[in-house]
Amino acid sequence: MPAETTSRGRPRDARSHAAILAAAADLVTETGYAAMSLGAVATRARVGKDTIYRRWSGKAELVYEAVFTTTDTAPVPDTGTLESDLTVLVQQLIDEFSAPPAAAALPGLLADFAAAPQLRARIRSAFLAPAKQRLASVFERAQARGEMGLSVETDLVLDALVGTVFFRMGILGEPASLQLARSVARIAAKGIEPR
């Protein structure tokens, strides 16, 4: 959200931006994705419907931002080791996928995503690229500490962390064990150590 607020809306809009996201997260949880209308979001957030359409391409993008960027405002982990930084990141992903809005949003959101290449491109550029950029310092610090090889594709590492949590929780519907974040982070951190 923070990068979007400055790049896509003016600071004085931040309050209505937050209100719209909160309304979207609440409504998708209450009614499910298919039944949720942008009119209802506008009413609950006390904004005009065109305020929503000025900022989001449609329901899918709004719900994505409301549900899956909640940790984008959390401090970037800086625990002193790559493995425990990654553990924090994976735990944040688990928390996001465990939250009721994610479970409510996922079926419809996945169908919309899979059917709309333009929407996926938009999500990649508007949300995923900035989120990855934001985490660059985790890998820079790891490299400075000698924990990481030089040729590591950090983009792929982040996709692997998200993909693992997403597949386990979002697709297979398995509950996240306490152990999951630690195991995934341990394998990833060791996997990108210098050879």
Binding site for a second copy (CB under 8 A): 106-108, 110-111, 113-115, 117, 120-121, 124, 128, 153, 156-157, 159-160, 162-168, 170-173, 180, 183-184, 186-193, 195
Counting Cβ atoms within 10 Å, is residue 143 exposed (0-12), middle (13-18) or buried (19+)?
middle
With contact defined as beta carbons under 8 Å apart, do 93 and 162 qualify?
yes
**Nearest to a second copy of 72, 193 (CB atom):** 193
CB of 22 to a second copy, least distance (A): 23
CB of 59 to a second copy, least distance (A): 14
CB of 100 to a second copy, least distance (A): 14
Which pair of tokens denotes residue 187?
Answer: 């394998």
Return the beta strands (E) in 30-144 as ranges: none
- State residue 116 phi and psi, 5-degree precision: -130, 95
Other beta carbons less than 10 A from residue 140's beta carbon: 12
**Nearest to a second copy of 139, 166 (CB atom):** 166
**Nearest to a second copy of 33, 47 (CB atom):** 33
With contact defined as beta carbons under 8 Å apart, do 86 and 188 qualify?
yes
**Nearest to a second copy of 41, 157 (CB atom):** 157
CB of 117 to a second copy, least distance (A): 6
